[in-house]
Every structure is written in C-alpha cells, then in structure tokens.
C-alpha cells in the first residue's frame, strides 16, 4: 500500500464519519463514556500525528533503487567518484545519502568507504525508525486507559446498585454499558494505530534490505574501479 492509497483510504473513512447518523452516534457514545474518553481521544490524535509524519518521511526516503544504482555505476565508469557523488546529491532518499557518505571516503580506499557506508546506514536506519516508539506507546496506552475507565464505570455501577438497595436490570445494564464504552474506544484506537505501525515496520525493513543490497553493489563497483 503506497502513501497516496493510505491517504485516500483515510479520506474515505473521514468522509464516512461526517454522515450525520454516524457522527451523532459517536458523539453520544463519547459523552456517555465519561472522562476517560478524552485521554483515549488524545492518544488517537497524537498517534495519528506521528503516523502521518512517518508516512511523509518514508515516502521521501523511498526511491527506484535499481535505476539509481545503474546511474551511479554509469557515473563511476564515465566520470569517476565525483560524478557518482553528483548523482547522489541530486537524488532524494536514504540510499542516496548512504552512497554519498561512502563515496566521500572513497579516496581513502574501499575499506574506508565500506565503513562509512555501514556507519551512515545505521544513522539512516535510526532516522527511519524515529517516532515509532511513540506510536507503539499510544498503542499500549489506549487500551489501558479504556480498561481503567471500565473499572471506574463498574465501581460506579455497583455504587448505584448499593444506593438503590436492589439489583435492578436497568441500573446494572446502563452502568455496565457505559463502563464498557471506554474499553471499546481504547481497543479501536489501538487497532487503528497498530495497522499504521505494522505498515511502517514492513516498509522500513524493505528499505533497509534495499540499502544493504545496493551498498554491496556499490562496494563491488568501487573494487572494480580500483583495479
């Protein structure tokens, strides 16, 4: 699933949520859920904020690796290291940045270039993974907030039973229904953010694999050039 597809899907969900019936129903249930609904909503908003930031970053980090490697190899063969560096400078993406770091050290030898690629590759990987810890945090916090709200609601329900001095189906059903709303919303928030998180992990793994494979090809090309 590409960045534009995810944005389109999110826009469709948002448009559906604008339907009067759905929006009114969600607003009613949100109010019924009590005070714990607000931190759950905050978890969703903040989590989606980090998610959209990662979508933007990963979309900019992606590139057509095969075409880029061909351009770099052609530049190495025709113009040498300087030409290859210009190609990297004019190309956006993590792999181009890693290649540029390696080519900067190419005059010191292939081993120096390889070490530079490995060091800068680790930095780029950290950059790609930045923010994921916060999405993971909100995935964990949202259900816990929901469960806490449910416990509070159950306590209120039992207090209502004690005050009424009888177990009325109406009192029990209403109290439990309100109590479970926080758990429902917390789990829904966690599921939404989990989908984004899993997508990011898969996307980053693919980027890192491409980075490692292409770096090997660059080192091989440098070896051939040095012969």
DSSP-derived letter for residue 109 is: -
> How far, CA to CA in Å, does 141 sit from each of 31, 35, 40, 45, 144?
20, 15, 8, 13, 5
Residue 50, phi then psi, degrees to nearest 5: -65, -35
Measured CA angle at 35 (ends 31, 40), to 5 deg: 90
Mind listing the pLDDT tens digit of every residue in the chain (227 residues)? 444 555 555 555 555 545 456 667 666 766 777 778 889 999 999 999 999 999 988 888 888 888 888 898 888 888 888 888 998 988 888 888 898 888 888 888 888 888 888 888 888 888 888 889 999 999 999 999 999 888 887 877 777 777 766 666 666 666 677 778 888 899 999 999 999 999 999 999 998 888 888 888 888 888 877 66
Six token digits for residue 50: 């980090």
Six token digits for residue 34: 């009590």
């Amino acid at each position: 699933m590409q960045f534009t597809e995810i944005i389109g899907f999110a826009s469709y969900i948002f448009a559906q949520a604008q339907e009067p019936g759905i929006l009114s129903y969600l607003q009613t249930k949100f109010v019924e859920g009590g005070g714990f609904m607000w931190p759950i909503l905050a978890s969703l908003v903040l989590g989606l904020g980090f998610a959209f930031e990662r979508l933007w970053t990963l979309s900019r980090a992606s590139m057509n690796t095969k075409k880029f490697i061909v351009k770099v190899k052609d530049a190495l063969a025709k113009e040498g290291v300087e030409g290859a560096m210009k190609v990297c400078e004019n190309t956006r993406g993590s792999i181009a940045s890693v290649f540029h770091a390696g080519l900067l050290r190419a005059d010191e030898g292939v081993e120096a270039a390889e070490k530079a690629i490995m060091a800068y590759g680790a930095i780029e990987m950290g950059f790609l993974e930045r923010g994921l810890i916060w999405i993971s945090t909100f995935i964990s916090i949202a259900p816990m907030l929901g469960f806490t709200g449910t416990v509070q609601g159950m306590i209120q329900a039992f207090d209502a039973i004690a005050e009424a001095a009888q177990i009325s189906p109406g009192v029990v059903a209403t109290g439990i229904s309100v109590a479970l709303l926080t758990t429902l919303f917390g789990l829904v928030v966690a599921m939404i953010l989990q989908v984004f998180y899993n997508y990011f992990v898969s996307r980053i793994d693919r980027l890192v694999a491409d980075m490692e494979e292409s770096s090997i090809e660059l080192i091989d090309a440098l070896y051939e050039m040095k012969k």
